[in-house]
A and B are shown apart, each in its own frame.
Chain A
Amino acid sequence: MIHIVTPQNIHLYQDEMEQAYRLRHRIFVDEMKWTDLAKPDGREIDQFDNEHAVHMLCVADGKVLGYQRMLPSTRPHLLSDILPQLCEDERPVGAHIWEWTRYCVDPAHRERGRALSPVANALLSGIVEWGLESGINTIIIEMNPLWLLRLVQLHFRTIPLGLPQSVGGQDVVAVTASFDRRTLLRLQEMRGDSRRVLIQPQQTRPMRLAG
């Protein structure tokens, strides 16, 4: 299940957030060798882990198996501050556009040979459920271009913001990916389950906008 952590409820998730920062360090620094993110205490935290960030945690039996972070496009985020060269055209900004970053899945929960493990599916479904309920329909992604086909197959409508470039020795392309109910249905169909993946504890401020 996917837990959404914001400043309103972060005090309830101290242990899980600790695990999440360590998972991020394990995956982005140790595994993917993004060495400039390395921290001596093994917790990968950056300037965007602030009060505007929305953390999404995939938790099973108290263990954080997957993580991703959403940043509002109306505030500083990776595309605006770190990787602006990936956007050749006007940068997309709006309350309905958020940036998807630090997506990671514990290695033991990635399925070999299959592109979308249950944890990966839950994380993606989490974005779409959260977005549909909060008036957000587009995410900005900086990713390996190999992921693009899978997003297209999942009924994300993606438009490149620039051509793929090499960043730290890896190919990266920035895209906007818009989604709707079809995207959610496709994800549900793939995991064979149409139940909601998001858990929203009562302490979380209701995110539903009008309607």
Chain B
Amino acid sequence: MIPAFTGSDMKTILYIVQKEFKQIFRNKGMLPIIFVMPILQLVILSNAATFEVKNIKFGYIDNDHTSTSRALVERFDASTYFNVLTDFPSEALASAAMLNGEVDVLLHIPPYFERDLQKEKYNNLGVTINAIDGAAAGVENVYVTQIVQRFNQNLKIDLFQVSDQEIQPINIETIPLFWYNETLNYKTFMVPGILVLLVTMITLFLSGMNIVREKEIGTLEQINVTPIKKREFIIGKLFPFWILGVGLLTVGLVLAKVIFHIPMVGSLPLMYLYTSIYILVVLGIGLFISNFTETQQQAMFISWFFIVIFILMSGLFTPIESMPNWAQIITQFNPIRYFVEVMRMVMLKGSEFMDILPQLFKTLLYAIIMNGLAIWSYKKTT
């Protein structure tokens, strides 16, 4: 049952909102955090948080020393992903270099590489990859394979041209076509996600700490002795942070467009509609946390706990599809997951209202539940 709002409710809420804004803009420590942190986050994280592996330290042991083996090495040299080419005279030296971290990838070219290729149309190459960082090693493996394959194809053509052999079997090749992010630009993928992070973190921390702060300084008790209604107080408290959250989204979108030239395929009003509901979820969580904590420190720790889980399980950095089943179920309860999905869908794919309806609906439900819990758990009388 939600009682109807009266004019006096609105008046009281206005007084609180007015007071909150004054306090926010008067807080010399807080203002830079609110406005500088998002910009730094977006600029630094979007450039740094990339899964592309570049500047791979590459070394090789050429036991063949023929034109073919040199041609193969040149392929790596030409690639923009591999730099620093080191020619190791022996396996022992190469292993030592890998142990010292001087090379990431080692290519072993066997003796009689060229001769065997021409005679048997087949040969083995050895590749050693430093796999301490498993994800990077996987990517490096793909790069190496691609280069060797391409080398192979050219070689076949060359061989075909020089020899008058029978018809060779046709190679079926897959040509990947990437939709929505044709250039596979990681920034295009990451910026919408990082935008989600900054909106979430700032609104959660600010709202979570705000009410606990009043508990700490004793003003909450003074408020509780007034006839103020719970809903007036909570709406008055949360509204300023809701405005801040929407403001942050705007700052983020402008930066994304101006600095990163992220394509904005979808509708802006739709992004704002979703975000305004999403922020309600975050504010509800923040308020809920503040009702169960006595100090800002406690509230901060609990907020961090949830933020870390929410971020790591949001699909922002690691795809949800590759998580174990139980973890995928948990992500259903992760608001950040839906926000990341919606931002990527709308910004990059141009999804429309009907496409994001499931996310929108779940987020709305989440907002109602969290704010219901928050209002319920806020007690004027203990």
Partners in one complex: no
